[in-house]
Chain A
């Protein structure tokens, strides 16, 4: 008899469980009867710690004043780790945030893996026509929108005006000039001309574009990194390092670059708007912000171009509190929030209307980078875009440290790409 009761109870539990699983259509909502949002929203931010994170944390937590019943949990995950950390959490279904600041190249990949909630028709996507077309492009995948653009960026040359004056040189506009200018700077001041990151292949892109190359051509489904332009670009960066015009590191590149530039040990670095606030905190710029000059990246022998980057906010498909997550995403990407971020951190808004607002319209950094972004080289928004850097950075570092030749380096990268992109030429 006893056994019979246990069996019945077990069957009942199973049946209940099955019903619960069947309710896929209805998300566990954080909305109370009156339509007021409640519950917790965990946001993974990837902004630079020590400068940008404070502003984003405050902005995120201000959401609580609008929606007092919502508890915003701000978590800063280092940019370099966020992609893998999110994948781990999203795949296992535990520990993932409700909202993630997803780099533009990660977004199609996360969407392809099924980790992101489609946002069309949800409150997260408000006034979509206001977004810059370039920024919106990376949020779309297979005809659906999976993220909302938060900031957009590109790269330029950051230079130390005092060092340039002491050496009596002008800002270089081509790679050839860059080499000469660096030489003069080293001769006159004993400092190194350029810091070139050797541990992150993103910093290689403007040289690749400068030689007329690209990683892949998505339209013709061709791998292009190992063509003549790719070889030339690798030769160019290797020459910059070998000739002493640039210094580099195989590890800790970001910290070394920032400290070398902030302390005035190098005269130039290639960087984006995300580095501005951190750079202003350095010894050379703290009391003299005007000492920092920004110019377009030097042109190669064929063209001039820098990669278009940026960040989106995406909602995790498994979030137990989708309604609050949508509202939070909308709030963080609203015109007011974007203008606030632009004023505080000089990061570029993704909404056209934000550029007209006071504090944004007259922001010098934003004013410099906006035309750069307009002309920036757009990357193919395929799921594999986020996977293209891992094979490239290994070979890039090998080339810079003399372990392989430019030809072999791009060749090995191309082979890895063809394995990744099945059926591409």
Chain B
């Protein structure tokens, strides 16, 4: 078992020697001698994680402290290598982002987007899970159909929605025209565009919520409902006092996950509206992408600054969320 050994070795290696113990170097050497095998086993994993997560992360943080852009980064063109000439500027980029109105305005819409997507998705997922947890005819067929949005690759569904939303030629407006309703500017009006992107994200997110909550529902023992019924509890009371507490551990996890995913839901925004019209639906990640890949000269420094700020925001959210749950007695 490499795992436990590695964890113990790690704690020793970090130099957290208690008072009165042998010196750190001795403990380190002893730790290595005892657990060399465990160290060897985890080394590849550590190396891979270091390369694919650690390096980009450190590099991103570093770039956010410079004025790097397309014109001053290192480039290799065939046999010619142009060295990097960007400079360290300290926290200037962060000061600019946090004092300018672009970041705060984008953050505002990102929060609206995240909260509305997660709330609606969770509500619908819960409702569907409850419906499908009963014995109804063709239950497995419904379950299969409701998972479909999840089974189709995200970009395919988003493109399909983009066709449906097309103001002149889209299916939705033809349907409305059949009912005598004027064409709706789904993606052309800022307000409607916001509604449209949220609708697509909810459509994409419901299957996950439903499946997760359905699993949670099935783990609640049926005897509890029977007992409650015997005691005269109505359907709403049963839902309120058995289902909700029973789903608590599942729902806290899916809400956390869903919040993080939605906050960074790049494909829906990018493929539907590219953040438009204007910048009406631009969320933080799509704007960071725009800095790095769409404007020219490409502003790598600003893009990484926004990236680091996104990371900090999500970490803060996760920490607060955990703390709140813990004060409510959850051992998550």
A126 to B296 CA separation, bound complex (whole angstroms): 32
Cβ contacts under 8 Å, B293 to chain A:
84, 88
Contact (Cβ within 8 A) A320 B78: yes
Query: Closest Cβ of chain B: how far from A72's Cβ, in Å?
Result: 20
Q: Which of A87, A260, A265 has the most CB of B within 10 A?
A: A87
Known contacts: A113-B70, A318-B78. The answer to whether A403 contacts B277 by CB under 8 A is yes
Residue of B nearest to A387 (CB): B296
Interface presence of A33 (CB below 8 A): no
Residue of A nearest to B76 (CB): A93
Interface presence of A167 (CB below 8 A): no
| Interface residues contributed by chain B, number (CB under 8 Å) | 34
A251 to B270 CA separation, bound complex (whole angstroms): 11
Residue of A nearest to B278 (CB): A398
Contact (Cβ within 8 A) A318 B80: yes
Residue from A21, A115, A260, A401 within 8 A of B168 (CB atoms): A260
CB-contacts of B145-196 with A (<8 A): 162, 166-169, 187-190, 193
CB-contacts of A124-151 with B (<8 A): none
Binds B, one of A47-55, A339-347, A372-380, A389-397: A389-397
Q: Quick one: CB contact mask for A285-324 with B, threshold 8 Å, 1 for yes?
A: 0000000000000000000000000000000111110000
Cβ contacts under 8 Å, A92 to chain B:
76
Contact (Cβ within 8 A) A250 B71: no
A83 to B272 CA separation, bound complex (whole angstroms): 21
Residue from B166, B295, B296 within 8 A of A252 (CB atoms): B166
A387 to B299 CA separation, bound complex (whole angstroms): 12
Residues of B contacting A: mostly? loop
Q: Which of A109, A249, A316 has the most CB of B within 10 A?
A: A249
A391 to B279 CA separation, bound complex (whole angstroms): 11
Cβ contacts under 8 Å, A391 to chain B:
295
Query: Closest Cβ of chain B: how far from A385's Cβ, in Å?
Result: 10
Residue of B nearest to A92 (CB): B76
Q: Quick one: CB contact mask for A205-232 with B, threshold 8 Å, 1 for yes?
A: 0000000000000000000000000000
Residue of B nearest to A401 (CB): B277
Cβ contacts under 8 Å, B295 to chain A:
387, 390-391
Interface presence of A259 (CB below 8 A): yes
Q: Which of B73, B169, B188 has the most CB of A within 10 A?
A: B188
A319 to B189 CA separation, bound complex (whole angstroms): 45
Known contacts: A250-B187, A256-B169, A390-B295. The answer to whether A317 contacts B278 by CB under 8 A is no
Residue from B77, B162, B188 within 8 A of A401 (CB atoms): B188
Contact (Cβ within 8 A) B77 A93: yes
Interface presence of B137 (CB below 8 A): no
Contact (Cβ within 8 A) A114 B75: yes
Known contacts: A256-B168, A390-B295. The answer to whether A250 contacts B80 by CB under 8 A is no
A401 to B78 CA separation, bound complex (whole angstroms): 45
Contact (Cβ within 8 A) A398 B277: yes
Residue of A nearest to B293 (CB): A84
Contact (Cβ within 8 A) A251 B168: no
CB-contacts of A308-367 with B (<8 A): 316-320
Contact (Cβ within 8 A) A91 B70: yes
Query: Closest Cβ of chain A: how far from B217's Cβ, in Å?
Result: 40
Contact (Cβ within 8 A) A251 B187: yes
Residue from A91, A259, A319, A390 within 8 A of B78 (CB atoms): A319
CB-contacts of A246-303 with B (<8 A): 248-252, 256, 259-260, 265
A420 to B73 CA separation, bound complex (whole angstroms): 17
Query: Closest Cβ of chain A: how far from B187's Cβ, in Å?
Result: 5
Q: Quick one: CB contact mask for B231-275 with A, threshold 8 Å, 1 for yes?
A: 000000000000000000000000000000000000000001110
A343 to B82 CA separation, bound complex (whole angstroms): 43
Interface presence of B13 (CB below 8 A): no
Interface presence of A199 (CB below 8 A): yes
Bin chain A's interface residue count.
Answer: 35 or more
Cβ contacts under 8 Å, B276 to chain A:
199, 250-251, 394, 397
Interface presence of B280 (CB below 8 A): yes
A397 to B77 CA separation, bound complex (whole angstroms): 36
Interface presence of B297 (CB below 8 A): yes
A114 to B277 CA separation, bound complex (whole angstroms): 34
A391 to B274 CA separation, bound complex (whole angstroms): 14
Contact (Cβ within 8 A) B294 A84: yes
Residue from B70, B169, B274 within 8 A of A251 (CB atoms): B274
Residue from A259, A260, A317, A390 within 8 A of B77 (CB atoms): A317
A61 to B280 CA separation, bound complex (whole angstroms): 45
A387 to B279 CA separation, bound complex (whole angstroms): 18
Cβ contacts under 8 Å, A244 to chain B:
none
Known contacts: A84-B293, A91-B75, A251-B187. The answer to whether A317 contacts B80 by CB under 8 A is yes
Cβ contacts under 8 Å, A398 to chain B:
277-279
CB-contacts of A381-425 with B (<8 A): 386-387, 390-391, 394-395, 397-398, 400-404, 420
Interface presence of A27 (CB below 8 A): yes
A23 to B296 CA separation, bound complex (whole angstroms): 33
Interface presence of A90 (CB below 8 A): yes
Known contacts: A91-B70, A395-B278. The answer to whether A401 contacts B189 by CB under 8 A is yes
13 contacts between A and B (CB under 8 A): A21-B79, A91-B70, A91-B75, A113-B70, A249-B188, A250-B193, A250-B278, A256-B166, A317-B78, A318-B80, A386-B296, A387-B295, A398-B279
Instruction: Tell me the B residues contacting A by CB distance below 8 Å.
Output: 70-71, 73, 75-80, 82, 162, 166-169, 187-190, 193, 272-274, 276-280, 293-298
- Those 10 A-B pairs whose CB atoms lie nearest each other, nearest first: A318-B78, A250-B277, A398-B278, A93-B76, A318-B77, A387-B296, A401-B277, A250-B188, A317-B77, A390-B295
Instruction: Tell me the A residues contacting B by CB distance below 8 Å.
Output: 21, 23-24, 27, 83-84, 87-88, 90-93, 109, 112-115, 198-199, 248-252, 256, 259-260, 265, 316-320, 386-387, 390-391, 394-395, 397-398, 400-404, 420
